[in-house]
Amino acid sequence: MNRTIIININSIVFHIEEDAYDTLRSYMIDIKKHFGNTAESKEILEDIENRIAEMFNERIQTGRKEVINLDDVQRVIEQMGRVSDFEESEGTTVEEDFRDEQQAGQAPHVEYVGKKLMRDPDDKMLGGVCSGLAHYFGIEPIWIRIVLVLFFLLGGSGVLAYIILWIVMPIAETRADKMAMRGEEPNLQNFKKSFDQEAKSFSETFSGTGERIGRGARTAGNLLSGCLGLIGKMIAWVMLIFAGLNLLGLFIFYMFNMMNLFGLENPMFFPPLKGLATNDAILALTFGFLAIAIPFFALFFWLTRILFKTDKLNSYLSLTMFAAWIVSIIGIIYYCIATSQDFREKSTINVQKSIQPQEVYYFTEKDIRVLDASEQDSLKSKFNIQLDGQDLRNYLHRDISIYFESIDSLSQPYIQYSYSAKGKTYQLASERAHNIAYEAIQEDKTLLFPSHFLLKKNALDRDQQVTVTVYLPQGAKVVLQREIEHKIRDISYWECRNNYPNENQQKYTEWTMSGVGLLCAQPPKPKEEEEVKSKKKALLDDVEIKKDSIIRIDGSNVTIEVKDNNVKINTKKEES
All structural domains of the chain with their residue ranges:
4-80, 119-171, 349-520, 527-571
Q: Measuring CA to CA, how many Å separate 473 from each of 405, 441, 521? A: 9, 19, 16
Exposure string over 454-490, b if 16+ CB within 10 A, otherwise e: bbeeebbbbebbbbbbbbbeeebebbbbebbeebbee
Half-sphere exposure of residue 423, counting CA atoms within 13 Å on the CB side? 17
Q: What is the model's pLDDT at position 40?
A: 60
**Residue 413 near residue 471, CB atoms below 8 Å:** yes
The 3-class secondary structure across 249-302, one letter per residue, is HHHHHHHHHHHHHCCCCCCCCCHHHHHCCHHHHHHHHHHHHHHHHHHHHHHHHH
Question: How many Å apart are CA 294 and CA 324, to the nearest integer?
Answer: 9
Query: CA 178: distance to chain centroid?
Result: 49
Helix axes 188-261, 39-59, angle to 10 degrees: 120
- Which stretches of the chain score pLDDT less than 50? 92-95, 97-98, 100-112, 379, 381, 383-384, 386-390, 574-576
Tell whether the torsion through CA atoms of 268, 273, 274 and 280 is positive or negative: negative
Question: How many Å apart are CA 474 and CA 465, to the nearest integer?
Answer: 28
Pairing relationship of beta strands 446-450 and 441-443 according to DSSP bridges: antiparallel
Q: What is the model's pLDDT at position 529?
A: 56
Pairing relationship of beta strands 517-520 and 446-450 according to DSSP bridges: unpaired
Question: How many Å apart are CA 41 and CA 46, to the nearest integer?
Answer: 9
The residue type at 458: N
Q: What is the model's pLDDT at position 389?
A: 45
Question: How many Å apart are CA 404 and CA 473, to the nearest integer?
Answer: 11
Cut 0.75: pTM above it: no
130-137 own/partner pairs: CB under 8 Å, 24+ apart: 132/169, 132/172, 132/181, 133/165, 135/181, 135/182, 135/183, 136/181
Q: What is the model's pLDDT at position 109?
A: 41
Q: Is residue 67 within a helix (H) or strand (E), and if so which, with residue range?
A: strand 67-68
**Residue 27 near residue 79, CB atoms below 8 Å:** no
Cβ burial of 534 (10 Å; 0-12, 13-18, 19+) is exposed
DSSP letter (8 states) at residue 398: -
